[in-house]
Structure 1
Amino acid sequence: MDSPGSPYASSPESAPKRSQRPRSPTPDDKEKSTHIRFLVSNTAAGCIIGKGGASINEFQSHSGARIQISRSHEFFPGTSDRIVMISGEFNLVIKAMELILEKLLAEAEDSNDADTRSKVRLVVPNNSCGGIIGKGGSTIKSLIDESHAGIKISPQDNNFAGLHDRLVTVTGSFDEQMRAIFLIVSKLLEDTHYPPSLSSPFPYAGVNFPGYPGVPVGYMLPSVGYNTSNYGLNGNGGRYPNNKGRASAASPQNGQDNSVTIGVADEHIGAVVGRGGKNIMEISQVSGARIKISDRGDFITGTSDRKVTITGSPESISTAESMIMQKVSSSLER
């Protein structure tokens, strides 16, 4: 039975045969609690939050659902995207999703952002993806046939130990995306293992990055091998174990971020940057700090150390420094 009055319920003309059709929520299902998570860029997250939280408060007020967004340094593993989680009764979740997508699509039209206009990436537990795929792919085919949207499920990413979620990418027009999301969430309602809610949109505290066993994503790392006890808004930094590194912290003015410059031996810069910039991008994503490395030949006076400038909150700077030193230590061991 289709949900009465739902704009995303099936029309008899366009629907596949009844035996193949995904089951839409019954009136009882519509009152069940559920949740949905999806990825957005930092810019889109700011758009959802709005000035002083005005937009997110409006979305919550108009939909009746709860909306949470991961913090600025909490990215879905392997991406630079934050996670939005909507939770509440089924119909409220769908309404909130509709309001948010309308807002993001309008912003994307203004900025000519074709990528945002054309796709939504849902975060779905790996053990719930089987129900969306169906035997021999029958369920996902019926979801595609009924919604007219493109639906693709990523393979499980084994690069991140402890990551048990996959991305379900939905492409198409706004109506096609919403119809597909409606059907996917309906399918997840049937899954007894799919939790009605999560305490946080970012449940990846135990996910390990490659080469960083035990390092929690988005959380502060312990200091590695050097003293940072003097760090503070007006303090001076400690020294690295080889005594070459020097750090200085600038006192922030008018609420601006801290900025710290450290020295890294020229021969270890490659390990910090990584192939194609992979390592430094990962460090920036996990820590939430901005990192700039001086040009070749631009050394700290009297040394052969390149200048690595880290900008952000004290916590993000400390995290970035720790990760940089782990890269340097690994390079020294090799």
Structure 2
Amino acid sequence: MEAKVSEGGLNVTLTIRLLMHGKEVGSIIGKKGETVKKMREESGARINISEGNCPERIVTITGPTDAIFKAFAMIAYKFEEDIINSMSNSTATSKPPVTLRLVVPASQCGSLIGKGGSKIKEIRESTGAQVQVAGDMLPNSTERAVTISGTPDAIIQCVKQICVVMLESPPKGATIPYRPKPASAPVIFAGGQAYSIQGQYAIPHPDQLTKLHQLAMQQTPFTPLGQTTPAFPGMDASSQASTHELTIPNDLIGCIIGRQGTKINEIRQMSGAQIKIASAMEGSAERQITITGSPANISLAQYLINARLTSEVTGMGAL
């Protein structure tokens, strides 16, 4: 298909990847896929949405630059329509901007930012859109998220300028594309058996994960927490204790504390329990964790701690 030459003399085929949340994807797809079908037909661009039960999905738009700009315009106006609809049910008076997240190979981000931030500043000033390039790469990839926010018109102008930069500075080397991870049900372990949490229930999990867990257990000297107390909420009705203690190996404590204490603070907030981690004792390979609160708080805190350990241990066991 011959592409018309758009401003700047671009008539090449380009692929742009967008990162969207499930709700945004639902809005783009529309009832029975009608919205995305209309977008494909009217823009002339190929629009593919990644499969999978993921909290995030990748939307890939491919086509001549004109078709891509039309598709972006339709997406931006659809998101604005969603914002206006949501505002009619709320008391908010100022309209939030439309926000899109592009996924761009890290090797092209330098050109997008420009020397001393000159290029990104020029794009912001000439389009009126806010543009931010993430400092870190997306997990297991060599791509970064570029967040654009503003009015639909500002976003369209901004995307045009970003496309020009991307065409002038192709990616260097191989790009490892970002693939969002599926939202799997949390898996926890009790008494050597794996369970997945579905709603309020713990469902025994397939044997494969249990074997993987047992393999990991042989390599890391900690007892599955659930052998003493059930590690999921709502399952600990009999215990009225207000304090519970756990011991965790030193080499696993980091995954519970998180960077600058982010994970442990998250667990405290979500569970409502007080959680104290004892200082490392000289000569000891373990750390003491004291959880204080109602049985439900303690149970939930244990479940969250167990979920952190499980992801760490099964990751290690799979290596």
Normalized against structure 2, the TM-score is what?
0.58
- CA distance in 2 between partners of 1:4 and 1:66 (Å): 16
Change (3 A) 1:185 1:229: same
Q: Distance in 1 between matches of 2:132 and 2:202?
A: 51
Structure 1 length normalisation: TM-score?
0.55
Q: How far apart, CA to CA, are the structure 2 residues paired with 1:87 and 1:262?
A: 50
Matches within 5 A, 1:131-280: 131-157=111-137, 162-193=140-171, 203-204=178-179, 217-218=181-182, 226-228=192-194, 237=204, 243-244=227-228, 267=245, 271=256, 274-277=263-266
Q: Residue 326 of structure 1 corresponds to which residue in structure 2?
A: 310
Identity %: 22
Instruction: Deviation per CA, 1:183-226: give whole Å up to 9, x if none.
Output: 1012212233279x99xxx7337xxxxxxxxxxx3376997864
Q: State whether residues 147 and 179 of structure 1, in contact with CA within 8 Å, keep that contact through their aligned partners in structure 2.
A: yes
Q: Cα deviations across residues 264-299 of structure 1 (Å, max 9, x unaligned)?
A: x9556x959933426999xxxxxxxxxxxxx95345
Alignment of 1:33-52 (within 5 A): 33-52=13-32
User: How much has 1:56 moved relative to structure 2?
Assistant: 1.6
Contact 1:188 1:194 in 2 (8 A): no
Query: In 2, distance between residues paired with 1:164 and 1:230?
Result: 32
For residues 59 and 122 of structure 2, what CA distance do their matches in structure 1 show? 27
Amino acid at match of 2:76: L
Amino acid at match of 1:190: E
Unaligned runs of 5+ in 1: 10-23, 76-80, 206-216, 249-259, 282-294, 311-319
Amino acid at match of 1:171: S
Q: In structure 2, what is the equivalent of residue 108 of structure 1?
A: 83
Query: Which of 294, 299, 308 matches 1:297?
Result: 294
Change (3 A) 1:297 1:124: same
Q: Which amino acid aligns with 1:98?
A: A
Please give the alpha-carbon distance, in whole angstroms, between the structure 2 residues aligned to 1:64 and 1:48.
16
1:102 aligned partner, one-letter code: Y
Question: What residue in structure 2 maps to residue 18 of structure 1?
Answer: none
Q: CA deviation at 1:47?
A: 0.9
Q: Aligned-pair distance for 1:90?
A: 1.9
Higher helix fraction (1 or 2): 2
CA RMSD after TM alignment: 4.8
Q: Does the Cα contact within 8 Å between 1:245 and 1:262 map onto a contact in 2?
A: no
2:63 to 88, 102, 114: 88
Gaps of 5+ in 2: 211-223, 237-242, 247-252, 271-291, 315-319
